């Protein structure tokens, strides 16, 4: 298989020779940036960094002995360092400003990642949603299959305890971010696309431009590289068909048989069919069948059994994509399926946070309407097994996404029994640029009066806790700091437990 080419975008550095190089990461506590910091350090580079927030990733870096400081100040920047930034860092940042003034090398985190991955078979996993889980599944399974992969994932793989590791094997699995077009900086051996559902319209402008960027991403593949695309998603299927027409190698996966695909199977290529055979609150059983098509007929290989230890049809579909990538990397079909069965999930993906007063609290990163629909379908199955309802505390992420998808958010959230919507997590955006957009924009779109807007985060957590009763499933949902509110809900429920216990004993 071809390997990742040297990144021409950072000619000042020699890829593969990072020992002793100095890197300073601005915003080092971000999920994507902390991963890069960890991998640079594991390659022997000297790493420093700064952030304005003392979040979990920042604390972990500090505890690991990395030189990270709170606050952005020009004095933090070593004069001999390469500066690594994300798209969230503005030119007015004092650390970036001093680096520009000194003419230091400044690279995007995706460019730094290409340096780290030099010489590896680079697998870039992209999509509007599902990429964190799919890349984590692939990294976990390759490790279980004895491949010792490197990986860079925007979430903690529970069984591995980290989202970043430099392995001894040939494969490097990375979550590729389309939100700022930075996935176009990669030259992957395998591009795995879970879906091409329009998002980040503040960057792309139109759905057509969003889809065009994914075709550009496919064309970033090295010579003889492979595009793996989910045929269940119309946008990803269109991508596969266009890429096939352009002469790229393509494999699709999905729940339909090849002859049921629009336009039929891609000539000369494979379609992997996922057939779900059983569902439960603890996982999904399925069968994977690989089809080969040519001008005359479609042939199938022996089916392979798959057990996914996390619930939801969408999780099984992600596993099918990871299985396809594993096969391309040389893992035997049954061995890859068995290895995928060891995956236990990632942080903030249907992550159990605890139970109090008979109420289970689960946290999830879903921040796109389709993700929320899939999440609530899974939550409904779990709640029915408990004899309870599904209650949601939702924090919209970005004013632009809230504006663009308010109606779709309302429809998706309508699958819950009760929804509390708190105010928008702005991330890189300024509310002044989006007048009239708030959490109430979403709450007003949820049907049947099942939603209420509570602006204050803690007050919103209390509101959902006060409505919960034994057997219910409460979800904290969103890509912002709503995850912190799971503990607030559990604390409130715990107080109710203590109060009930006191009443039952007459206060004794």
Query: Over the stretch 379-395, which tens digit does the pLDDT of each residue have?
Result: 998 898 889 999 999 99
Q: Are 18 and 116 in contact (CB under 8 A)?
A: yes
Rounded distance between C-alpha atoms, residue 326 and residue 56, angstroms: 31
Report residue 176 as tokens: 């590729």
Residue 428 buriedness (CB in 10 A; 0-12 / 13-18 / 19+): middle
Active site residues: 131-132, 175
Residue 228: CB atoms within 10 Å: 29
Among residues 367, 371, 350, 366, the alpha carbon closest in space to that of 474 is found at 350
Q: Are 44 and 20 in contact (CB under 8 A)?
A: yes
What strands, in cross-sheet order, belong to the sheet with 106-108? Answer: 67-70, 46-51, 22-26, 82-85, 106-108
For all residues of the chain together, what is the average pLDDT?
A: 88
* pLDDT at site 479: 84
- Residue 358's DSSP bridge partners are none
Rounded distance between C-alpha atoms, residue 327 and residue 332, angstroms: 6
Query: Over the stretch 209-249, which tens digit does the pLDDT of each residue have?
Result: 989 999 999 999 999 999 999 999 999 999 999 998 999 99
Work out whether strand 162-165 and strand 473-477 pair parallel, antiparallel, or are unpaired: unpaired
| pTM of the predicted model as reported, rounded to 2 decimal places | 0.76
Which residue carries 């064309």 as its tokens? 219
Query: Over the stretch 435-480, which tens digit does the pLDDT of each residue have?
Result: 999 999 999 999 878 999 999 999 999 999 999 999 999 999 998 8
Q: Where are the alpha helices (DSSP H) in 148-254?
A: 201-204, 207-218, 234-245
Report residue 24 as tokens: 């300073």
Q: For the chain, how are helix, strand and coil distributed in percent, rounded to 5?
A: 40, 25, 40
Name the residue with higher pLDDT: 146 or 448: 146
Residue 104: CB atoms within 10 Å: 18
* pLDDT at site 55: 82
Helices vs. strands in the chain: H and E counts, helices first: 15, 22
Distances (CA, A) of 218 to 7, 224, 243, 504: 17, 12, 7, 64
Residue 348 φ/ψ region, left for φ over 0, alpha for ψ in the -120 to 50 degree band, beta for the rest: left
């Amino acid at each position: 298989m071809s390997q990742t080419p040297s990144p021409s975008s950072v000619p000042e550095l020699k890829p593969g020779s990072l020992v002793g190089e100095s890197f300073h990461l601005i915003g080092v506590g971000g999920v994507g940036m902390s991963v890069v910091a960890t991998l640079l350090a594991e390659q022997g580079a000297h790493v420093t960094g700064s952030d304005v927030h003392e979040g979990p990733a920042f604390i972990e870096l500090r505890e690991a002995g990395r030189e990270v400081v709170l606050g952005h100040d020009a004095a933090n920047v070593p004069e001999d360092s390469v500066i690594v930034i994300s798209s969230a860092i503005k030119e007015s940042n004092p650390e970036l400003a001093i680096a520009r003034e000194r003419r230091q090398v400044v690279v995007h985190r995706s460019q730094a990642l290409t340096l780290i991955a030099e010489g590896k078979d680079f697998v870039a996993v992209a999509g509007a949603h599902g990429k964190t889980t799919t890349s984590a599944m692939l990294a976990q399974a390759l490790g279980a299959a004895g491949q010792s992969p490197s990986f860079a994932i925007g979430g903690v793989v529970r069984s591995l305890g980290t989202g970043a590791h430099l392995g001894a094997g040939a494969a490097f699995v990375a979550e590729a971010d389309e939100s700022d077009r930075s996935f176009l900086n990669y030259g992957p051996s395998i591009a795995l696309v879970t879906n091409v559902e329009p998002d980040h319209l503040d960057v792309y402008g139109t759905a057509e431009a969003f889809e065009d960027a994914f075709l550009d991403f496919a064309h970033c593949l090295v010579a003889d590289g492979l595009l793996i695309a989910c045929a269940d998603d119309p946008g990803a299927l269109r991508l596969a068909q266009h890429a096939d027409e352009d002469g790229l190698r393509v494999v699709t996966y999905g729940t339909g048989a090849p002859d049921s695909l629009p336009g039929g199977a891609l000539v000369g290529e494979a379609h992997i069919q996922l057939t779900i055979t059983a569902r439960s609150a603890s996982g999904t059983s399925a069968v994977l069948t690989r089809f080969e098509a040519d001008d005359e007929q479609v042939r199938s290989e022996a089916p392979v059994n798959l057990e996914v230890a996390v619930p939801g049809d969408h999780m099984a579909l992600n596993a099918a994509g990871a299985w396809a990538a594993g096969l391309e990397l040389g893992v035997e079909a049954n061995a890859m399926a068995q290895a995928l069965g060891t995956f236990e999930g990632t942080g903030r993906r249907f992550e159990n946070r605890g139970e109090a007063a008979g109420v289970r609290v689960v946290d999830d990163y879903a921040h796109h309407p389709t993700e929320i629909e899939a999440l609530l379908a899974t939550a409904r199955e779990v709640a029915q097994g408990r004899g309870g309802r599904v209650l949601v505390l939702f924090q919209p992420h970005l004013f632009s996404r809230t504006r663009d998808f308010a109606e779709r958010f309302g429809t998706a959230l309508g699958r819950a029994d009760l929804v509390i919507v708190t105010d928008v997590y702005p991330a890189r955006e300024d509310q002044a640029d989006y007048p009239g957009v708030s959490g109430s924009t979403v709450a007003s779109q949820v049907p049947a009066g099942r939603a209420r807007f509570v602006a204050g985060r803690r007050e919103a957590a209390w509101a959902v806790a006060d409505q919960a009763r034994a057997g219910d499933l409460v979800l904290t949902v969103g890509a912002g700091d709503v995850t912190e509110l799971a503990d607030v809900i559990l604390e409130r429920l715990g107080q109710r437990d203590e109060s009930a216990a006191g009443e039952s004993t007459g206060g004794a």
